[in-house]
Each structure stands twice: as C-alpha cells, then as structure tokens.
A and B are shown apart, each in its own frame.
Chain A
Amino acid sequence: MLTGRAFKFGDNISTDHITPGRLAHLRSNLPELAKHVMEDTDPTFASRVKAGDFIVAGNNFGLGSSREHAPLVIKMAGVRAILAKSVARIFFRNAINVGLPVLICDTTLIDDGDELEVDLAAGTVKDKTNGKQLTFSKIPEVMLRIFNEGGLIPYIQKYGDFKL
C-alpha cells in the first residue's frame, strides 16, 4: 500500500515541462537535474514534494520527447506513482522501464493536496480526503512483467532476453 499527497497537474504536461531542454547539460548529473523537476510548470514543486507523494494529472501526461530523464527525475524526487487520465506512449514505456508506475484512472475527483492510498495489487486508489475510491486500468501484461522485476535492466539481467 502506497500513501502520500496528490500534486495535481492539468492536461498535456510534456517532457519539456518535466525536465526542459535548457537543462540538458545536467542530464549526466541526475541528482542535480532532479532539483528542477517540473520547474517550468510549477517552480515550487521540487521543494514541496516529499518521498511517497503522487503526481496526479489529466490527459496525455508525458507527451513530447523520448528523454527518459523525465520519469527518472520524477522518481528521484520521491514520487511513488503517476496517476493520469491518459499517458503518452514513450513516457509510459520509459516510466515502467525505470520502475515508476503510471496508473490510468479518472483523476477528475482528486484535488491538489488530497491524501491518497494506492493499492497496486488491487488496482485501487482511495482518496482519504474526500472518501472517494477509484480503480485504475491494468498495466499491460508485458509491461507489468518488466515492472515486477524492478524495470527493464533487472529484467534483462535476469532473463538475458525478452520473454513475452
């Protein structure tokens, strides 16, 4: 069971919002880059987010570039999972590959600052602030297997190949 606060964002949060190109020189220094996570959409986010919190977003989260640094810095900032109405394809794959779950559900009912309880196995989100309960769509089987090994690198280290 994961518990933490919701940080609410809108639709179309791109990888440029998460970690902009102008900070490309920090990409080989991820702890430093993580200090700027989400800077161009909420400059206060990095200082407020705590280990265990959630990003809660609208449609098409993570659109744009293939930079895997985006899910990596979100994870490094302590975010335990992303809840969104929908997610862009490359970001989804990257997040699972680095062991950051993206849970697709109707996030309309969650408000910024709500306390959430996420049960990954049961597929449920409980908003403890307003008492509402949501279910999220299952992560596709092939991605779930990668996620369950802790990401794509541990998966490949274990199996040496794709085992679908």
Chain B
Amino acid sequence: MGKTLAEKILSQKSGSDARAGDIVIAKVDLVFAQDTTGPLTVRQFQASGFKRLANPQQIALFRDHAAPSPNSGLSNDHIILHQFARQTGCLIYAIGEGICHQIVAESLAKPGDVIIGADSHTVTAGGLGAFATGMGSTDTAIAFGLGKTWLQVPQSIKIVVSGNFPEGVGAKDLILHLIGQIGADGATYKALEFGGNTVDNMSMSPRFTIANMAVEAGAKVGLFAADKTTQQYLDSQGRSNHYQPVASDADAAYAQTISIDAANLEPTVSQPHTVDNIALARELKGTKVQQVVIGTCTNGRLDDLAIAADILKGKKTHHETRLIVVPASRQVMLEAITDGYIQTLIEAGAVILPPGCGPCLGLHQGVLGDVESCLSTANRNFKGRMGNPNAFIYLGSPATAAASTITGEITDPREVM
C-alpha cells in the first residue's frame, strides 16, 4: 500500500514505516516561535534545564505580531527574544521583516521538511510540501532542545480540485467554501492533502493561502506536493538547492476524498463569529463595513496586493470605510512598491502598515470600535479577535475586500470589475 504525503514525510524523518495512527518521533528541520508565544517558549526552554539548542541554525524567532510594539509589556517580550538569540545563536528576525509564516515560506522551509512553530498557522509551509504544524510553547521549547518531537501520523483527507476558477474567484474562496462544507472541526487530527488539475496549475501564493487555513478546519497540516512550480519558486528565491520532489503514491489510503469543481465557486465570505459560517459575497450585499484589511499570512502576498490594486486603480475607498493594507513581508512590500501597487493603493485611500501581522489579532494597528464591522483577508473571525468583542469580522478574498472598500459594504467583486 502506498503512502500519503504525511506518511511519506514522517516515515523519512522518523526513520520508520510511518502509517496513519502510528506515533513517531520525528527529526525537525525548523522550529520557530514569534513574539507572543516566544517568551513563554524561552521560559519553558530554560525551565527544562537545556543548556543549548539542538541546532541554532534550525531555530528562528520572529518579531511580527507586535511590530512595532504598541506598549512596554510587548517591548519587554521583544527584549527576551533578542537576548535569547544573542545567547544561543539562533536566527532572529527584526520588526519590519514580516510575518513568520511568510518568511518561513520565502527563506527557510523546504519540501519534505518537518517544521513546528509556536503559531497555529505554521501549516502555511505545507504549500511547499513541508509537514508543518503548530504547537504550543512547551512542545516548541522541547524541540528547541532535542531537535525532534513526537507526532501521531494523521489520517489524510484528499481534496481534489478540478476546473478553472471563474473571474473574481480564487484560492481564498475555495478554502472558505471547503471549511464551510466540512466545518471548523471537520479535519481535526487529520491532514488535508490537496491535488487535482486546479492545484497542479496553481502558483505558490494561492497554495500558501489554502495551506494556511487548513487549521481553520482543525487540520494538523495542509499539504501540497512539491512539483515544478515549487521548484521554480525556490529558484526565484535563490534556493534551488532546497528543492526535492515530494508526492504521494497513487495507491495511498485516504480517510475521505472530497471533489470540488472550481468553476462552480463564487466569491465566498465567512460571517461572524466562526470561520465555517459561510455565505456568498452577493448574499451579504448591504452589510456595511467600516474597516477593510488586506494582508496577513493568508493573503498579504504580492499577487494579493496586485488583485486589490487592479480593482482599486483610479477608484476611491468609500468615505465611511477605511482600508488598511499590510504587506506580509519586506520582500512583498518592496516588490509591491516596484510594481506600483502601493502607490495605486495609497491613491485609492489605503493606509499602508509595515510588514507584520497588523490588526489581525487585535493588539494594535486597527482595533475595531463597538458594533463596527470589518472585512478582512485574514483567516479568523472569532469574537474579539480584532481587539473588541463587540465588533464583527467577515473574512473574504483580496478581490472581495477591494470591491467592498469601494462600495462601503460587502460586495461581490464581479460587480465592480
């Protein structure tokens, strides 16, 4: 019997014949934490009695969630990370370099890796064919010290996507649709493995968008094969030597297979307060939004900003709606400046924030007021997520976000394109 992507990678990294349900101890290729989980990781590492990191070059710390820090508590947490990096020699990324998951994708993750991060959206690197999963600070601290972790090999759900997306519809609509279908716990403990001709033809950025949100269905990991597109991406990042092909076997066993015809999808939105509370954008016409956010580890990449700039070119944001744009990394921001997207967005009325998490988790840079509604390209809309439990968060694609910015209400992007 052949193997799923999850079984293949975990077999390789555990040196065993790993099958769904097995418990394995896997070597980790990269372990990381960010500024809201990293300080506890550091404390747990020290409490465990470790004297040094298993491999400093495979451990990274990021200052991205509070970037720049809005208060002394978080500034002090940044100091903890800085000092730990100085003492141990691990990698550390500065404010303004971007969101951990985007930097991991651009610079660190390789196909076939096992990656654990003290952040649930570590699954993003699954887009590159890495078994990447989020864990808490203690698991992460132990992996800092041991260079390995224990994992139960997940069963996999195969998602087969075929057909072409209609205009104005893309990866975000696909993953929101899927989560709506299977529910916020529809893949708990499982791996999602994406395939089919739509996926084969997809560039890396939409793969990251989809992998990123696997955790919103409860999945341990969201995996893509590493193919020609992956190779080209790594080449373009100056990391040709990081490529290796990774694919599942044709006779691998899946817990379930779900087929989706991309041609049937429409612009899709999550409504408050759970990600699986799905509606079509056109069904929410008339829902006013006071804030629109384009960015985050889900949709803050160059192609996302390009889609938004394209829709907003020569247009203005609605006078009662503010638009906040947050490039996911410094690389994205620089390219968006070169390509003119930033200028277009500013001319349309956008506020541009430095690369980082921005207002996504409610600690700064765009906290919502009472009874305000926001349409965000992020991945979560839990009550209170953007800093105010009396506010409402809708999630949608960059196209839907840009269109809604113009009208001041949730809008199917095809209406303004």
Binding site for B on A (CB under 8 A): 12, 14, 16-17, 20-22, 24-29, 39-41, 59-60, 63-69, 86, 88-90, 93-94, 97-98, 140, 142, 151-153, 156-157, 161-162, 164
Contacts and interface: CB of A to CB of B under 8 A. Distances in A.
Contact of B37 (A16, A68, A164): A68
Given A16-B385, A20-B384, A28-B73, A152 B362 contact: no
Contacts of B80: 28
Given A68-B37, A151-B138, A157-B48, 10 more contacts: A27-B77, A40-B383, A60-B184, A63-B218, A66-B37, A68-B137, A93-B135, A93-B139, A153-B48, A164-B23
B118 interface: yes
B291 to A, nearest CB: 15
Contacts of A59: 185
A141 B16 CA distance: 20
Contacts of B188: 60, 86, 88-89
Given A28-B39, A66-B37, A162 B25 contact: yes
Given A27-B39, A28-B77, A151-B138, A64 B380 contact: yes
Q: Across chains A and B, which 3 residue pairs bring their CB atoms closest together, nearest first?
A: A25-B73, A21-B361, A68-B136
Contacts of B1: none
Nearest to B34: A66
Interface in B360-399: 361-363, 367, 380, 382-385, 387-389
A65 B120 contact: yes
Nearest to B65: A24
A47 B361 CA distance: 25
Contacts of A98: 138
Given A26-B73, A142-B23, A66 B118 contact: yes
A156 B361 contact: no
Interface string B111-148: 00000011110100000000000111111001001101
Given A22-B384, A63-B185, A153-B44, A97 B138 contact: yes
18 contacts: A16-B362, A21-B385, A24-B65, A24-B73, A27-B77, A41-B383, A60-B188, A60-B218, A67-B36, A68-B37, A68-B40, A68-B136, A86-B185, A89-B220, A94-B138, A142-B152, A161-B146, A162-B25
Contacts of B137: 66, 68
Interface in B176-198: 184-185, 188-189
